[in-house]
């Protein structure tokens, strides 16, 4: 179980609250080393490149990459063992539960350096990412530092998903999906953290299978530390490669956000409520349309009830504008996939949210991480 940071006083004067009520993360000596932690499950097509971008980072001091290996079925574990045999900086730990927070905690506990950098097997960190992040972390004394998630794709479908990720319309405008100004943030993508801060707040909550990063950052902020966003930090993210995997991913993510609203209420951002509102508006529109066609409602009442179509029509026009506009890609297939991807993301997320809010997430998992092999990349 995680510890309650409110139960322990600051350990030293340097960590005590400042006059504004905030706390600074403890500094570490230069060259003290960095531990990169990465949960891995069925990522054979992406793992080697993800690890290479980590090991290519120019960091002052020793570096290790701790891979938490879930029960992969596509040869990922064998590849990880090969990589570890090629480079002693790669450390392997088991994550039989396959859950991301469990794997992250196992990797953090197995790490040996005072700064922890979360990385993802589906991502590639840009050159200079780590050194720049360490400089920002030392300068701001924040509890967590993160940057921009720049989604990218190779197929028309994956490119459409990437454009949706990078758009304020696609994922609701979180800072790390397109912010351009450094400053305090609600959460951080991946994240660069001091191990002392992680130990204080209790690492990741292993009862949360999606949204674990948001919940951790909530506890970091509640402990008095800042979460800092800087757009100069860039991470390339490769989205799901097929429609059904994308839909499953977003249903699971929405379900866990509903669970987080059950647990934390309005500490969740208002933007998280937009997709379920869209689902409700769509269901009401279908119901009103059925009642109008069958003549159950008619006349002035029918005209009044038609107001439920307005938000749905506005949404359709918005999606169409994104698809045919500059953000929708250059090819016809790209634009058509954009028309399909945006509603898939929003409706799957919104339906999952409502289910999670009403009955809780329970054992909901992201089955898109478990099914099939990843599409090989060139």
Tell me, yes or no, whether 215 and 278 share the same domain.
no
For 47, the domain range is 5-241
> Using one digit for the tens of pLDDT, what is the confidence trace for 174-233?
555 566 789 999 999 999 999 999 999 999 999 999 999 999 999 999 999 999 999 999
Tell me, yes or no, whether 266 and 358 share the same domain.
yes
Tell me, yes or no, whether 351 and 224 share the same domain.
no
- Percent of residues, the chain, with pLDDT higher than 90: 75
pLDDT in the model for residue 171: 76
Between 22 and 315, residue with greater pLDDT: 315
Give the torsion sign (CA, 270, 274, 275, 276). positive
pLDDT in the model for residue 9: 38
Residue 249 placed within a domain: no
Tell me, yes or no, whether 91 and 10 share the same domain.
yes
Residue 377 placed within a domain: no
CA distance 239 to 196: 32
Residue 239 has pLDDT above 50, yes or no: yes
CATH number of the domain that residue 55 is part of: 3.90.550.10
Angle (nearest 5°) at CA 123 between 28 and 214: 65
Nearest by Cα to 375 from 40, 77, 43, 75: 43
Tell me, yes or no, whether 187 and 109 share the same domain.
yes
pLDDT in the model for residue 378: 33
Average pLDDT over residues 18-31: 82
Residue 257 has pLDDT above 90, yes or no: yes
Work out the mean pLDDT of the chain and round it to a whole number.
89
Tell me, yes or no, whether 271 and 153 share the same domain.
no
Residue 254 placed within a domain: no
Number of domains in the chain: 2
Q: How far is CA 320 from the centre of its chain?
A: 26
Strands 183-184 and 63-69, by their bridges, are: unpaired
Residue 38 placed within a domain: yes
Residue 376 placed within a domain: no
């Amino acid at each position: 179980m995680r510890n309650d940071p409110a139960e322990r006083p600051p350990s030293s004067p340097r960590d005590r609250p400042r006059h504004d009520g905030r706390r600074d993360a403890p500094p570490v000596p230069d060259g003290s080393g960095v531990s990169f932690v990465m949960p891995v499950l069925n990522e054979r097509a992406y793992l080697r490149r993800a690890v290479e971008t980590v090991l290519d980072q120019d960091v002052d001091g020793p570096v290790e990459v701790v891979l938490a290996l879930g029960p992969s079925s596509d040869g990922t574990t064998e590849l990880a063992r090969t990589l570890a045999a090629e480079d002693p900086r790669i450390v392997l730990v088991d994550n039989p539960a396959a859950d991301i927070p469990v794997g992250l905690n196992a990797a953090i506990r197995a790490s040996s350096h005072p700064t922890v950098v979360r990385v993802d097997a589906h991502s590639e960190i840009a050159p200079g990412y780590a050194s720049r992040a360490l400089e920002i972390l030392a300068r701001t004394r924040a509890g967590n530092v993160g940057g921009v998630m720049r989604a990218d794709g190779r197929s028309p479908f994956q490119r459409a998903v990437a454009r949706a990720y990078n758009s304020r319309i696609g994922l609701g405008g979180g800072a790390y999906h397109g912010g351009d100004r450094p400053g305090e943030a609600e959460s951080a993508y991946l994240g660069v953290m001091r191990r002392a801060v992680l130990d204080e707040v209790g690492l990741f909550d292993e009862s949360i299978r999606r949204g674990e990063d948001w919940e951790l950052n909530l506890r970091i902020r509640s402990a008095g530390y800042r979460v800092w966003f800087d757009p100069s930090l860039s991470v390339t993210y490769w989205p799901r490669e097929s429609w059904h995997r994308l839909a499953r991913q977003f249903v699971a993510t929405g379900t866990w956000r509903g669970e987080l609203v059950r647990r934390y209420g309005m500490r969740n951002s208002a933007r998280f409520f937009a997709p379920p509102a869209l689902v409700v508006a769509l269901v009401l529109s279908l119901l009103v349309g059925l009642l109008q066609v069958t003549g159950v409602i008619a006349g002035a009442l029918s005209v009044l009830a038609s107001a439920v179509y307005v938000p749905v029509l506005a949404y359709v026009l918005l999606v169409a504008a994104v698809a045919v506009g500059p953000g929708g890609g250059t090819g016809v297939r790209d634009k058509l996939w954009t028309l399909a991807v945006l509603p898939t993301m929003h409706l799957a997320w919104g339906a999952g949210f409502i289910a999670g809010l009403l009955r809780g997430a329970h054992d909901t998992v992201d089955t898109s991480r478990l099914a099939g092999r990843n599409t090989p990349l060139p």
